[in-house]
């Protein structure tokens, strides 16, 4: 009898590929623990030291609190530096600076400031003033991602003023790194658009509970292409200052992103869009890919490069036809922030803070949505360059958030088990819990 020899080599090849993919993916997690954590924590310690010298006691307190309580945001975002190991330290410096601004401003845009009624003003007028004040603060983030943007007094409309140059130094640190990236000019318009989108969401989110839901829904309507009446409340927010970023979308983003944006955003709930807008991951992905040369191998030097096809601009090398931003926004970004809110539900309920997950009809619906975003995220990133890396990011998000101590204390363990099992991240969740305990994150 003739021996069948075709099948075993095919099976062996598939097994070898699967094993190789697993090993490559797990190398990301080990590199996170061995390389990223120490470098990111070192940057955070430098900013903590700098924050201690802030003259204003309230600003100093908020700056230190944002670093002490939210350091894992910077550490997690720094994972994108693994895409360019020769330029890892510079990329981590930029990511930590941008994320530290984000976390600090989140603390400053507190309800204690923006909920208080203004004498002689209606609730909408008060909201407009709060929105304007918050957007002025968020100019720091826009400066951080745009090296050519002039800096001014970010606190000009804020009750506390003197931070001793802390925000400016954070933004300048990021600008210094981004200026040296050869391909950053290609992604800067899109990074700026996403940062503006983030700033708008944050500035509406912190307004009075009596009006913020209406404003969030109307803001989402603008971006999902729905027609609003001329007297819609959301228009009051942009009165007297530059309009919303949606007006510049077609001028600031490549065609593939604009098409993807229109297609995907329309299928979201308003709170899901808000969650996607609240993530900085797409911005960090753009920065990381902008640091690569056309072939994706080495760190770029100075000068104006042609950009990479991976980010939806001019196409070059093996990244031809791929769009990193399209894959990350909205699915991965929405998953990121919904996970954050999922484990913070009890805490936000007690403080009265807006929580996007609370708008689902039930916990089961929220879990279904998280599973849906996980599946879409894995599918959207499957054909990207370094797909193994993006799979690691997605599973890492699930493992990081579901290894938080709040999961057990809030009785979310069964949901965490369900979602990490479905995504293949259950073992990683255990490893992540151990790593967080050792690293103090």
DSSP string, 304-335: -----TTBTSS--GGGTT-BHHHHIIIIIHHH
Measured CA to CA in angstroms, residue 293 lies from 65, 327, 351, 375, 386 at distances of 38, 21, 47, 31, 15
| Residue that the structure tokens 């940057």 belong to | 43
At 116, is the pLDDT very low, low, confident or very high (cuts 50, 70, 90)? confident
Measured CA to CA in angstroms, residue 57 lies from 51, 60, 169 at distances of 10, 5, 18
**Joined tokens for residue 42:** 């070192």
CB 390 within 8 A of CB 381: yes
User: Helices 184-205 and 209-223: crossing angle, nearest 10°?
Assistant: 150
Q: Is the pLDDT confidence value at 22 over 80? A: no
Rounded to an integer, the average pLDDT of 101-128 is 84
Rounded to an integer, the average pLDDT of 305-314 is 42
User: Mean pLDDT lowest for which of 35-39, 117-121, 398-402?
Assistant: 117-121
Provide the residue ranges of all domains of the chain, joining segments of one domain with +: 26-330
What's the maximum distance between 2 C-alpha atoms anywhere in the chain? 96
Question: Exposure of 47 by Cβ count < 10 A (0-12 exposed, 13-18 middle, 19+ buried)?
Answer: buried
Rounded to an integer, the average pLDDT of 384-394 is 90
At 411, is the pLDDT very low, low, confident or very high (cuts 50, 70, 90)? confident
pLDDT in tens, 220-274: 999 999 999 999 999 999 887 788 999 888 888 888 899 999 999 999 999 999 9
**Residues 161, 167, 170: CA angle, nearest 5 degrees:** 170
Q: Is the pLDDT confidence value at 432 over 90? A: no
At 438, is the pLDDT very low, low, confident or very high (cuts 50, 70, 90)? low
The contacts of residue 45 (CB under 8 Å, 6+ apart) are none
CB 153 within 8 A of CB 38: no
**Joined tokens for residue 120:** 């002689």
Q: What is the pLDDT of residue 9?
A: 59
Single pTM value for the model: 0.88
pLDDT in tens, 154-210: 999 999 999 999 999 999 999 999 999 989 999 999 999 999 999 999 999 999 888
CB 399 within 8 A of CB 431: yes
Beta bridge partners of 323: 311
Q: Is the pLDDT confidence value at 436 over 70? A: no
Q: Say which residue, 203 or 317, is predicted with more confidence.
A: 203
Nearest to 142 by CA among 216, 299, 252, 271: 252
Ramachandran angles phi, psi of 157, nearest 5°: -115, 15
The contacts of residue 168 (CB under 8 Å, 6+ apart) are 140, 151, 154
């Amino acid at each position: 009898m003739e021996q069948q020899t075709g099948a075993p080599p095919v099976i062996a090849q598939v097994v070898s590929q699967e094993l190789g993919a697993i090993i490559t993916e797990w190398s990301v997690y080990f590199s996170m623990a061995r390389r990223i954590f120490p470098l990111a924590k070192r940057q955070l310690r430098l900013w903590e030291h700098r924050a201690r010298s802030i003259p204003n006691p309230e600003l100093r307190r908020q700056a230190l609190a944002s670093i002490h309580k939210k350091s894992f945001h910077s550490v997690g975002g720094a994972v994108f530096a693994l895409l360019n190991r020769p330029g890892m330290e510079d990329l981590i410096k930029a990511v930590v600076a941008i994320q530290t601004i984000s976390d600090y401003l989140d603390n400053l845009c507190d309800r204690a400031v923006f909920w208080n009624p203004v004498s002689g003003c209606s609730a909408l007028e008060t909201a407009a003033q709060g929105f304007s004040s918050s957007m002025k603060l968020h100019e720091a983030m826009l400066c951080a991602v745009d090296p050519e943007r002039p800096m001014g007094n970010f606190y000009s409309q804020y009750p506390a003023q003197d931070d001793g140059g802390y925000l400016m130094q954070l933004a300048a640190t990021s600008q210094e790194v981004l200026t040296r990236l050869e391909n950053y000019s290609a992604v800067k318009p899109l990074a700026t658009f996403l940062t503006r989108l983030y700033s708008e969401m944050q500035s509406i989110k912190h307004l009075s509970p009596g009006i913020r839901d209406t404003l969030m829904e109307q803001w989402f309507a603008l971006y999902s292409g729905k027609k609003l009446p001329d007297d819609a409340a959301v228009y009051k927010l942009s009165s007297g200052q530059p309009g919303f970023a949606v007006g510049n979308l077609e001028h600031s983003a490549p065609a593939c992103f604009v098409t993807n944006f229109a297609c995907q955003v329309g299928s979201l709930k308003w709170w899901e869009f808000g969650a996607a807008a609240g993530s900085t991951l797409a911005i960090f992905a753009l920065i990381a890919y902008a640091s690569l040369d056309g072939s994706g191998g080495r760190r770029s030097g100075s000068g104006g490069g042609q950009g990479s096809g991976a980010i939806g601009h001019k196409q070059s090398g093996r990244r031809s036809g791929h769009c990193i931003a399209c894959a990350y926004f909205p699915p991965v970004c929405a998953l990121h922030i919904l996970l954050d809110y999922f484990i913070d539900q009890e805490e936000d309920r007690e403080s009265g803070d807006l929580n996007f997950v609370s708008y689902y009809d039930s916990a089961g619906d929220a879990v279904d949505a998280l599973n849906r975003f996980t599946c879409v995220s894995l599918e959207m990133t499957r054909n990207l360059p370094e797909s193994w890396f993006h799979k690691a990011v997605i599973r890492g998000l699930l493992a990081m958030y579901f290894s938080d101590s709040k999961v057990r204390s809030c009785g979310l363990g069964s949901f965490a088990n369900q979602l990490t099992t479905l995504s293949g991240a259950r073992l990683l969740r255990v490893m992540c819990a151990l790593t967080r305990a050792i690293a103090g994150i």
